[in-house]
Amino acid sequence: MSSHALARRNKSSSLFTNIIVYALLILGGTTMAVPFLWMLSTSLKPDGEVFTYPPQWIPSSFAWDNYRTIFTEGHIVRGFSNTMLVVVPTLIIGLFVCALSAYAYAKLRFPGRDKLFMTLVGTLVIPGAVMMIPAFIMFKSFGWTDSWKPLVIPGMFGAPMTIFFLRQFIKQLPDELDDAAKIDGMNPFGIFVRIILPLTKPALITQGILSFNAGYNDFLGPLIYLNTPEKYTLQLELASFSSYYVTEWTLLMAAAVVALVPTLILFAFAQRFLIEGIAMTGIKG
């Protein structure tokens, strides 16, 4: 077979492979988008059209009052404000503490460092359900129930997964940066603040997005510790549209659409950093 024929065959094979790959990606993307499109469609339906058969994707009349109702009667704004009061302090302080711990595990040398890090990683396999009751008993003895303290304060001291993620990123940074800064007389904390943190921005933004989504979508924690409706987070406010006897599906879907908007905006602006942070975080030991 001539080189020209071989090149043409390879090109055809590559074209066929690309077609298959893009077809699978389009199919997967469409499959993932269907629930969100159905949620949007349901949020604009009158009550009588939710369970019609066959299902109607386009409502016969758009019930925009569903969105007005969730703001006037559903306390969505209050739930969002409470969620931000819980998530933002935990995110900012906790991310800084995790980055500081990750720098210590990645660059500083002290006795028992590796064993301590492996112990930290080992805590990742402990199910959250195992610690749920002991944590509740402890916080109840502190008098923290029906307050935001159990949701905010523990997160300020870092999370093992976040420390592991940032440690893997920082470990890839050249040791010569630390050595040059030490020669200039800079202490470890100065090296961390002035050199490591700026270089770790992609990983910090990536982990910040993941941590924000985890706190923003947390339902079980607020459900366990909060009893006063005025302190409910957004996820509890969404759950209030479903009662023992009836679920207001149109209002629930409208509230879910509104709750989804902040995460979509966050991902749209930080998508590049999210992909870069994940791609640059290797598995170096």
CA distance to 85, 107, 119, 164, 179, per residue, from 101 (Å): 24, 10, 14, 9, 19
| Same domain (yes/no): 26, 144 | no
| Same domain (yes/no): 79, 37 | no
| Same domain (yes/no): 36, 76 | no
List Cβ neighbours of 210 (8 Å cut-off, separation of 6 or more): none
Separation between Cα atoms, residue 236 and residue 12, nearest integer Å: 54
* Domain presence at residue 129: yes
Q: What is the CATH number of the domain that holds 198?
A: 1.10.3720.10
Cβ-count burial of 202 within 10 angstroms (0-12 exposed, 13-18 middle, 19+ buried)? buried
Q: Is the pTM of this model over 0.85?
A: no
> In the numeric block, which tokens belong to residue 248?
């207001």
Residue 53: the pLDDT is 78
| Same domain (yes/no): 24, 151 | no
| Same domain (yes/no): 145, 8 | no
| Same domain (yes/no): 77, 137 | yes
| Same domain (yes/no): 132, 223 | yes
* Domain presence at residue 176: yes
* Domain presence at residue 61: no
| Same domain (yes/no): 92, 15 | no
- Are 95 and 209 within 8 A, CB to CB? no
The pLDDT tens digits of the residues spanning 48-106 come to 777 777 877 888 788 888 888 888 877 888 889 999 999 999 999 999 999 999 999 98
Q: What percent of the chain has pLDDT over 70?
A: 90
* Domain presence at residue 241: yes
pLDDT bucket at 276, cuts 50 / 70 / 90: low
Q: Which domain holds residue 75?
A: 71-280
Separation between Cα atoms, residue 43 and residue 257, nearest integer Å: 8
Q: How many residues does the chain have?
A: 285
* Domain presence at residue 60: no
Sign of CA dihedral 228, 229, 232, 235: positive
CA distance to 161, 176, 208, per residue, from 165 (Å): 6, 22, 11
| Same domain (yes/no): 192, 103 | yes
Residue 31 vs residue 1, higher pLDDT? 31
Tokens 């800084």, residue? 96
| Alpha-helical segments (H) within 108-174 | 113-122, 128-142, 149-152, 160-171
- Are 227 and 146 within 8 A, CB to CB? yes
The pLDDT tens digits of the residues spanning 147-195 come to 899 999 988 887 888 898 888 888 888 888 888 888 888 888 888 888 8
| Same domain (yes/no): 18, 117 | no
List Cβ neighbours of 95 (8 Å cut-off, separation of 6 or more): 162, 204, 207, 208, 211
| Same domain (yes/no): 171, 34 | no
Separation between Cα atoms, residue 53 and residue 188, nearest integer Å: 66
Residue 6: the pLDDT is 55
User: Could you say which DSSP state residue 247 is in?
Assistant: B
Residue 5: the pLDDT is 58
* Domain presence at residue 66: no
Separation between Cα atoms, residue 86 and residue 82, nearest integer Å: 6
| Same domain (yes/no): 220, 134 | yes
* Domain presence at residue 59: no
The pLDDT tens digits of the residues spanning 107-152 come to 888 888 888 988 888 888 888 888 888 999 999 999 898 889 999 9
Looking at the structure of the chain, the number of domains it has is 2
* Domain presence at residue 48: no
Residues 223-241 have a mean pLDDT of 88
pLDDT bucket at 285, cuts 50 / 70 / 90: very low
Q: Which amino acid is at 149?
A: K
> Residue 85 CB: number of other CB atoms within 10 A?
15
